[in-house]
Structure 1
Amino acid sequence: MASLACALLEDGVADDAVARVEPVTAARTARHFLFLQGLPGPFFRRLGAALRDEGALVSRINFNGGDWLDWPGPGAIAYRGTPADWPRWLEGFVDDRRITDIIVFGDLRPIHRAARVLADRRGLGFVTFEEGYLRPNHVTMERGGVNGHSSFPRSLHAVRLIADRAGALGEAVPVENRFRRRAGEATLYYAATHAAAPIFRHYRTHRHASPLREGAAWVRRYARRWAERRASRDALAGLAGRPFFLFPLQLEGDAQITAHSPFASMRDAVVQVLDAFRNAPPDVALLVKQHPLDPDVDNWRGFVTDRAATLGLSDRVAFIERFDLMPLLRVARGVVTVNSSVGPLALAAGVPVKVLGTAIYDVPGVTAAVPLDAFWRAPPPVDTGAFDIFCRALRAKSLINGGFHSEAALDLLVRNAVARLRDR
C-alpha cells in the first residue's frame, strides 16, 4: 500500500491541505450528482459511471486512502481539511459545481450529517443507501434519511395506501452476496486508509474501533472459529426442548443503537434486556446471538455470561457466536431486538417481534405493541396479512433489488438504482 501514497502524491492530492474546488463549465441543465462516502467496494464508482453514461455530471469527494482506492477518478477530488472546516468547504463546492443531488451510504456519519443539513437548506436531492431492510435480495435506497430518519410511515393505514398505489410487484431476483468478497473489499479499504493516513491526517473514522483493532480481532475470531462452533452447538444442546426467545446483538457503535434507540450502547441494551428477563416465566430461556459481522472487540461471550451469572440467570441464558439464523427462527417463541434487520426475517417466519428502539418495521399491527414483560409471558401472534402489506409498501418506496457483494448482484443493483434516480 506504500505505492498508494505515492500515487496520491502524483495525482496532486497532497499539494494543499484541501484540494482546490474548480467550477464546472458543462451544461447547466444536467443533473450533477455528488458522491460522498460509500460501502467499501466498487458500488459508488460503478453507479457514478452509469449515471455519467446517462448524461449526468458526477463528482466524488474522497476522505481517506480507502475512498481513493475505491474511486480514483474521474471526477474524484480529495478533502484533506479538518472536520470543523468541512461544512463551509462543502457549501462552496456545492455552489461552484452546481450540485443537484448528494448520494451517501448511511446518513449518520459526521460528514454526511453536514451534507444533509446543507441539502435540506438548499432543496437538493439527498439519497441514502444502506444495507437492505429486507434481506438478502434488496438494498435500501431512500430520499432523505434511513432507519429512524426515514420518511416511511409508521401507521398501518398509511402503509396500506402506499401498497395499494404500488399495485402488484414482481418477484425480486434472488441475489448472492459473498462474504469473502465483502471481507476482501473491506480489508483493502482499511489497509489503504492506514497507508494514506499521513496524507489524510485530519480524517477520523466513524467506526467503533480502529481498523487495526478490528483486524486483530478478526484474526482472533478466525483462529478460534472451531471453538466458537463447538461452544455454540453445546449452548443450543442445553436448550433442547425448552421454549426460548432470541435476542440478536447488533454492532457496537452502530448508529442504529447510538442514534435510533434509547440505549447508549449495545452493552447497555444487553444489560437492560437481561435485567428484564428476570421477569420472564421460569421455564423460558433467552438465546443471545452475536452479530455475524462483529469482530468481537468487546468479548461478547464473556460479557453476556458474566452478566447473566450476576443476575442469577446462568441456567436460563445461552450465548452463541455461530449458527444459521433461519433454523433458530423456525423454533423461537419470539424475537427481542433493538432494531436489527433480523426483525423482518422473524416476522416473515411468523415469529413475533418486540422492538426496543426505532425501527422502520415497528408498525402497530405488524410488531408486538406490548411491554417487554408482557411479551415474555404471551407474545402476540404475527398478522401475516399486515406484514405482507408492509413488505409491498417498503419495496415500492424504500428498497431496490440487488446486492453489493457479487458481480451479478452489483450489476442488478446499479441498473435499478439508476432507474430509481432517473425517476426523480
Structure 2
Amino acid sequence: MDHLLTHQNILLLQGKMGTFFCRFATFLMEQGKQVRKINFNAGDALFYCHKDKMDNYRGTVADFDAFISQIIEQYHIDAVVCFNDCRPYHAVASRVTSALGVSFFVFEEGYLRPDYITLEEHGINGYSRLNPDLIEGFDRANDKPNYTANRFWRLCVASMVYYLVVFIGQRRYPHYEHYRGLSIWQEMRAWLIAPVRKLCRYLPDKHLQHRLINQGDNFYLVSLQVHNDSQITHHSDYEDVRAFITEVLDSFAKCAPKGTKVLFKHHPLDRGHRDYRSFIDRTARSFGIEGRVLYGCDMHLPSLIRASIGMITINSTTGLQSVYHQKPTKIMGRALYDIKGLTDQKPLDEFWGNPTPPNREFYLKFREYLIEQTQLNGSFYGLAPWEVADLGKDK
C-alpha cells in the first residue's frame, strides 16, 4: 500500500462486488490522489459513488487495449488497480501497463485468513513475483491482526444486487464478458439456489462434522475450489474440478491405508453453481470405495484440518491454513506456497501412506515474508485496511 500511495494518478478497474472500491477511492482522494474508474457493466456503475470521475466501457474485450491506453494518456495515469488479474479486461490491462511502464496493482482475497486481504504489484497467485529465496532473511512471524468484522452475508447481498442490476442494464453494456464465463442469468440463478442448498444441507453437514471431529475417524481432507475460479482456469492443468476429484479418488483407492476415509469439502461460494455429491458417489462406487468417501460444505474448516491426517487441494489458500496447523499438505496445481519445507513434494500416490508435515520454523518465516510483502490487515466486507489502521491510532 505504501508503494501504491507514491503514485499520484490512479485508475481503478473492477473491484469486489459491493462498495469496497468506492470506499477505496474515497480513501485515495483523502490522501491527495487523483482517481478515476472504468465500469464494465451496470453493477460496477451502481456501486461506485464518485460518478463524475468514472468512465463506462461498452466495447469488446478485443478493443479494450485501445480504450485503456487512451484513458492512461488522457489522465496521466501512473498506477492501475484491480481485483484479480485473470479477468478478461484485467489481463489486457496487465499487458498494456507493462508496455507503457505504468504500475499494476492487484487486490485478491487474503493468502492468510481471516483479517487479511492481498495486494500485490504485477500479479497474484501463480503470477506473483515473490522470491522464496528471500524467506530466510525474515524473522519468525508473531503477527496479531486486528479483527475486521468481515460478514459473509454482506457478500451474498452485494452479489445478488450486483447480478440483478447487471442483468437489468445489460443492453447498455452489450459486449460485457463476465469473468466467470457464465451469463448474468446463470450467476443470478446460482446465487438464488445457494441459500436453499445451505438450508437443506446445514444440519446433515454439521452432524458429519461432529462425527469426524469427535469420533476419531481417520480421514484425509480435500479442499475443493470454485469450479471456474482463476486458480483453476489459469493456475492448474485441470479443465474441470471433476477431473481433480477423479484423480484423487483413483489414487486414494489404490494407495491409501485401509481404514482411512477421504472428505471432500465443498467451497461455500460454489454452493449454488455446483453440487458434486452424485458425481462423487458414482465415482467412489466405480473404484470400490463407497463408504470411505464423504462430502459436505457447511463445516468449520479449521476444526476439520486439525482433526484430519492431512490436506489435498489444487492450489487453494486453505492449504496455507493446513500448513499453519502443521498438517501435511499436498498441492496438485501451481501455488506460490508449494515449496519444500511447507508442502509435501512427493507424488500423490506416495502422500497417503507417508505424508510429510511442514517445517514449523520455515513456515513462520514464510508467513512473515508473505505478510510484509503482500498482506493488508483488513477485509472487503468489513473494516477496510485504512479503517483498521485508524482504529490502531485511536488505541
State the TM-score, normalized to the length of structure 1. 0.85
Q: SS state of the match for residue 25, structure 2? A: helix
- d(CA) in 1 for partners of 2:319, 2:102: 33
Q: CA deviation at 1:64?
A: 0.2
Q: CA deviation at 1:375?
A: 0.9
**Which residue is 2:161 aligned to?**
188
Q: Would you say the 8 A contact 1:305–1:319 is kept in 2?
A: no
Match of 1:100 among 35, 54, 78: 78
- d(CA) in 2 for partners of 1:235, 1:171: 32
Q: Would you say the 8 A contact 1:236–1:318 is kept in 2?
A: no
**Which residue is 2:89 aligned to?**
111
Q: Would you say the 8 A contact 2:13–2:37 is kept in 1?
A: yes
Match of 2:239 among 264, 270, 285: 264
Bigger mean CA offset, 181-190 vs 386-395: 181-190
Q: CA deviation at 1:234?
A: 5.4
Change (3 A) 1:115 1:91: same
Bigger mean CA offset, 189-198 vs 231-240: 231-240
Q: Does 1:364 align with 2:340?
A: yes
Match of 1:314 among 290, 294, 308: 290
Q: Would you say the 8 A contact 2:141–2:365 is kept in 1?
A: no
Q: Does 1:198 align with 2:191?
A: no
Q: SS state of the match for residue 74, structure 1? A: helix
**Which residue is 1:135 aligned to?**
113
Q: Would you say the 8 A contact 1:30–1:55 is kept in 2?
A: no
**Which residue is 1:228 aligned to?**
201
Bigger mean CA offset, 106-115 vs 46-55: 46-55
Q: SS state of the match for residue 253, structure 1? A: coil
Q: Which amino acid aligns with 1:256?
A: Q
**Which residue is 2:62 aligned to?**
84
- d(CA) in 1 for partners of 2:308, 2:298: 16
- d(CA) in 2 for partners of 1:282, 1:169: 40
- d(CA) in 2 for partners of 1:135, 1:217: 25
Q: Would you say the 8 A contact 1:134–1:344 is kept in 2?
A: yes
Q: Would you say the 8 A contact 2:10–2:78 is kept in 1?
A: yes
- d(CA) in 2 for partners of 1:60, 1:203: 16
Q: CA deviation at 1:30?
A: 7.1
Residue by residue, what CA displacement relative to the aligned partner does 1:312-351 show, whole Å, maximum 9, x if unpaired? 2212111112111122111100000111121111111121
Q: Which amino acid aligns with 2:62?
A: A
Q: Would you say the 8 A contact 2:141–2:367 is kept in 1?
A: no
Structure 1 unaligned blocks of 5 or more: 1-28, 417-424
Q: SS state of the match for residue 359, structure 1? A: coil
Percent identity of paired positions between Structure 1 and Structure 2: 32
Q: SS state of the match for residue 113, structure 2? A: coil
State the TM-score, normalized to the length of structure 2. 0.91
Q: SS state of the match for residue 198, structure 1? A: helix
- d(CA) in 2 for partners of 1:296, 1:221: 4
- d(CA) in 1 for partners of 2:197, 2:184: 20
- d(CA) in 1 for partners of 2:148, 2:387: 9
Q: CA deviation at 1:220?
A: 3.3
Change (3 A) 1:203 1:292: same
For residues 341-420 of structure 1, what are the structure 2 equivalents within 5 Å?
341-406=317-382, 408-409=383-384, 411-412=386-387
Q: SS state of the match for residue 62, structure 2? A: coil
Q: Does 1:254 align with 2:229?
A: yes
- d(CA) in 2 for partners of 1:168, 1:223: 41
**Which residue is 1:8 aligned to?**
none
Change (3 A) 1:66 1:302: same
Change (3 A) 1:314 1:235: farther
Q: SS state of the match for residue 187, structure 1? A: helix
Change (3 A) 1:30 1:208: closer
**Which residue is 2:307 aligned to?**
331
Give the aligned CA root-mean-square deviation in angstroms.
2.1
Match of 2:250 among 275, 288, 300: 275
Structure 2 unaligned blocks of 5 or more: 1-5
- d(CA) in 1 for partners of 2:360, 2:82: 33
Q: Does 1:217 align with 2:206?
A: no
- d(CA) in 2 for partners of 1:337, 1:92: 42
Q: Does 1:159 align with 2:135?
A: yes
- d(CA) in 2 for partners of 1:52, 1:236: 47
Q: SS state of the match for residue 354, structure 1? A: strand
**Which residue is 1:49 aligned to?**
26
Highest CA radius of gyration, 1 or 2? 1
Change (3 A) 1:288 1:80: same
Q: Which amino acid aligns with 1:249?
A: L
Q: Which amino acid aligns with 1:49?
A: T
